[in-house]
Amino acid sequence: MKRIFTFLIFMALFTAISSDLMAQNALLRYADKQFELFHYQEASEVYAKAFNRKHTYRAAKGAAKSFQKINDYEKAYEWWKTTLAFESSTTQDYAKFIASANQLGKIEEVKEALDTLSARDERFDQINIDSLMGWYENPKLVEAIPVDSVNSAATDFGGAEDKKGNFYFASDRGETSDSGKPLIRFDVANKIEEDEYAWTGRDFLTVYKVSEEGQVSTLKSPVPDTYHFSDPYFMENEDVVFYTITRELDKKAKKKLRKSDKVNPEMDYGQGQDDFADYHSEIFYSKINDSGEFEGFNSLPFNSLLNYSVINPFLDEKNKVMYFASDMPGGFGGYDLYKVSYDEDFTFGEPENLGDQINSKGNERDPFLAGDVLYFSSDGHFGLGGLDIFMAQLEGGNFSDIQNMGVPYNSSQDDFAMMLGRDGKEYLSSNRLGGSGLDDIYLMKDMYRRFMARVLNCDGELITDGYVAELREMDKMEKISLEKGSQGEVLANVSPSSDFELKISKKGYFPIIDNSISTKGIEADKLEREYTLAPIPYRTTVYADLIYYDLDKDAIREDAKPALNKLADLMKDHSFLDLMVRSHTDSRASVEYNDGLSSRRANAVASYLDSQGVAHSRVKKESFGEEKLTNDCGDGVPCPEREHQLNRRSELVLMAFPDENKQYEMPEELKGLDFCNISNLGVPVDVPLIHFDFDRYFLRTEDKKELERLAIMLSERPEATLSIEGHTDIRGSEEYNEALSEERAKVVRDFLIKRGIDESRIKYSWHGKSLPIHECESSCTEKEHQLNRRTEVKLILGQASESKPLKGSMTSIGKKKTSEELKSEEEVAFFISGVFSSEDNAASRVSQLKSKGFADAGFYFDQEKSLYYCYISKSTDRELAKKILANLKTKVSEDIWILEM
């Protein structure tokens, strides 16, 4: 009895379990059937009910797939999450879960799921994980902007332009029916009705036209009995349009169908069924009349309405090739991309599959060729979910380097129909989250800022080639891709809210480094810069001087130290200067002895400068012995000691950028200056002022030394010219003084010509007593007369004539003022230490004074006399000024006198 009771209990439990299992299996079979019939709403509810009866992987995954089909993102996410709890979950399930999490913006869960996949190498390709992470973490700097003027609550997709600028797209917008079916994707069908696409309950697809004024109108298919009408492509060189249609069979063909067959007008992704007679899509083409209407129609020879679809025409008119998508037999998967050649009469050849580099086991569609880049959509290549947009390079007739275009071109939903307008704008279609309807058209707006740099030479002319430009984002190693504009300008797309550094280099020119480029806070689309490439002035002499030695000595004399000290200061202030020391002897003693003596003299200069902080490496030494005398005092020629003295010398030449094989950086002390116009590289022009004895025009020994220095400068700078002006004091007649001043100008000119300076480089003039420094005549002191007896020299270096101080601008050595301006100030007495007819010479004199400790030195311009007066200082107390003058004369060797205003 007990056994019977136990057996009955077991049978009751078995029956209950079997009944539940049978009930769940019945639900699952019903749900599967509804899913196959595309009744996803019904299927999703039944799968959920089945799961509640018994938790199974099949029920959870069926619910997840169904909710995903009807775009219920929240429920799809929950069900995919539930699906992953089962051991039998697949890698594809993880990918679907990641896609659903991404749809809801759950980026952290996306990353966590990707990390989980990376730990399960056997279930997911590490390369794919890295790709997904890269797409999500490094989106392209573009923004997908819905085209609100086109999008509706229905399906809107595709994009095409005609020659007149009209825009075309496909849509199933229109009145909805009461079919009760969910409004889901357009790309599958169930049965055919006369007025509507029953699966969606909406109109069939048709083409809409948007004029340049924004008016939207419907286009009518020229093919009779058309159901779906989409994918227009307008030729540029012909008034011909290609398009995709799904149409009714003609009566003759219909008779071949069984009466029991239902029909399914496929469009793009028609899902054929065994008990359906599928109407496949075809490509037709028509002429376009003057009104813009499609006129007549022609079918492609390889269309096959009852066997396979042919969709998405794109024409490469230059090469007479049409690209399209088709699921014709012999492909690699569902829809593949093909190409076919055609001639002027639109006679088409045999379709050619683009191969397994492009085509996959899934579906490829929407070909669009722009230059050498093919854009297409695929759900077979690895992507973010559904259809993704890819690009491939065309080279030698073959396609390679296939790349997913990443976020935000692609989303976890379907992204397809990439199209580039004639104005360069990018359009795509997508059913991504946040759209207006089922599928929407998006304009991809570049979030980059357009950077443009123009590179000029010193003449303001655009440099178009021959230089290298590098642009990189701060704190990042990789360089930003640059391109050249039509006029040679540098172009680049740069990220918003970022800082950048640009380097422009050209052999023989100073490199340009600009790290001030920033897009932070900039709303404008374009960021422009203009740069000037300045040539490196290799081996440019900017300063020359001489020092002299005692007979048979190499020691630095006391009178030479101020000149060397000045050189040391210049070299320490100007890192780009090196010193060339050329040492000489007189002709006395043997050649061998004099060679050694001149070498010791050069070494003495280097050692002295080293003691002043100038490295030996910056001093280049040459010794010539008695080889290069400045006069005719050679061996056996009797000469006075003063002439021999002129030969016992070291020529000191400051040379900028001396190494012609070195690519110099712009020195810090020259940055910020207009290098193309800076005079003498910022080093003061130091030219002599020659004085004469009364009624004489012979050169004094000290003046010859000054002119030797000037001759060196002119020899080193062959482009330089010289202006010489002779003057006298105010004693004597005008006629006599005219002749005397001419001789004084000529003697300076002749001295320089004898030193090898070409006569054509020297311009000289004379002014007699018409331009005195002191107009004192009978009341002049001898010193005042001496200042009037002069020859002024102006050195013109072929650059800006304005002399520059060692550092900074003219204001650092004294602002140029007129005598009228000075009269309006309180100062009444000026301690004058030089009068010049050129601003260059005055500026140079002020630099000398400042280097000697006269911090208040400056100069002003007398407009009446056209002379520049250099002063050491100024005073408002006349009596005190006289005491100051007496004190100054005891301390300095300068000729100083008071000028009262």
* 850-901 tens-digit pLDDT: 777 777 788 878 776 667 888 887 777 666 666 666 666 555 555 667 766 5
Over residues 701-705, mean pLDDT:
90
Which tops the pLDDT comparison, 201 or 872?
872
Whether the predicted pLDDT of 681 surpasses 90: no
Q: pLDDT, tens digit, for every residue of 426-437?
A: 999 998 877 887
Pairing of the two strands 142-146 and 577-583: unpaired
Question: Does position 181 have pLDDT exceeding 50, yes or no?
Answer: no
Q: What is the pLDDT of residues 499-553, one digit of tens each?
A: 999 999 999 999 999 999 998 888 788 889 999 999 999 999 999 999 999 999 9
**SS3 at position 310:** strand
pLDDT mean over 709-723: 91
In terms of DSSP bridges, do strands 364-370 and 167-171 run parallel, antiparallel, or are they unpaired?
unpaired
How far is it, in rounded angstroms, from Cα 846 to Cα 828?
A: 20
Q: How confident is the model at residue 900, as a pLDDT?
A: 64
Taking Cα atoms as reference points, which of 123, 115, 171, 113 lies closest to residue 147?
Answer: 171
pLDDT score for 872: 81
- pLDDT confidence of residue 682: 79
Q: Is the separation of the CB atoms in 649 and 623 below 8 Å?
A: no
Strand bridging mode 142-146 / 449-456:
unpaired
pLDDT digits (tens, 9 = 90+) for 616-633: 999 999 999 999 998 989
What are the two backbone dihedrals, phi and then psi, of residue 599, each rounded to the nearest 5 degrees? -65, -40
Whether the Cβ atoms of residue 835 and residue 773 lie closer than 8 Å to each other:
yes
Task: Indicate the pairing of strand 829-836 with strand 867-875.
Answer: antiparallel
For the cut 90, the answer to whether the pLDDT of residue 242 exceeds it is: yes
Which tens digits make up the pLDDT trace of 746-775?
Answer: 999 999 999 999 999 999 899 999 888 888
What's the CA gap between 514 and 505, in Å, rounded?
Answer: 12
pLDDT > 90 in the chain, percent: 44
* CB-CB contact of 583 with 542 (8 Å): no
Q: What is the mean pLDDT of the chain?
A: 82
pLDDT digit string, tens, across residues 549-572: 999 999 999 999 999 999 999 999
Averaged pLDDT for residues 659-665: 92
Banded model confidence at residue 844, pLDDT cuts 50, 70, 90: confident
Contacts of 178 (CB under 8 A, 6+ apart): 201
- Element (DSSP H or E) covering residue 836: strand 829-836
* pLDDT for the residue 120: 56
Q: What does the pLDDT average to over 39-60?
A: 88
Q: Is pLDDT at 340 greater than 90 in this prediction?
A: yes
Is it the case that residue 585 has pLDDT exceeding 90? yes
Question: pLDDT digits over 142-180, tens only?
Answer: 788 899 889 998 889 999 999 888 999 999 886 433 333
Say if CB 857 and CB 805 are below 8 A apart: no
Span 792-808, mean pLDDT? 53
Given this model, what pLDDT does residue 208 score?
Answer: 93
Residue type, 58: R
pLDDT given at position 775: 80
Q: Is the pLDDT of residue 814 over 60?
A: no
Q: Please give the span between the terminal C-alpha atoms of the chain, in angstroms, as a whole number.
A: 145
Tokens 């004091």 found at: 729
Asked if the model's pLDDT at residue 594 lies above 90, the reply is: yes
Instruction: Give the per-residue pLDDT at 40.
Output: 84
Report whether the peptide linkage leading into residue 511 is cis, meaning its omega lies within 30 degrees of zero.
no
- State the pLDDT at residue 877: 67
pLDDT higher than threshold 50 for residue 484: yes
By CB neighbour count within 10 A (0-12 exposed, 13-18 middle, 19+ buried), where does 175 fall?
A: exposed
| pLDDT for position 185 | 30
pLDDT band at residue 277 using 50, 70 and 90 as cut-offs: low
Return the pLDDT at 300: 96
Residue 143 CA to residue 407 CA, distance in Å, equals 10
Buried/exposed 269-294: b ≥16 CB within 10 Å, e otherwise: bbebbeebbbbbbbbbbbebeeeeeb
Q: What is the pLDDT of residues 282-309, one digit of tens each?
A: 999 999 998 888 999 999 999 998 899 9
pLDDT at residue number 882: 65
Q: What is the DSSP string of 78-106?
A: HHHHHHTTSTT--HHHHHHHHHHHHHTT-
CA dist 337 and 380 (Å) reads 12
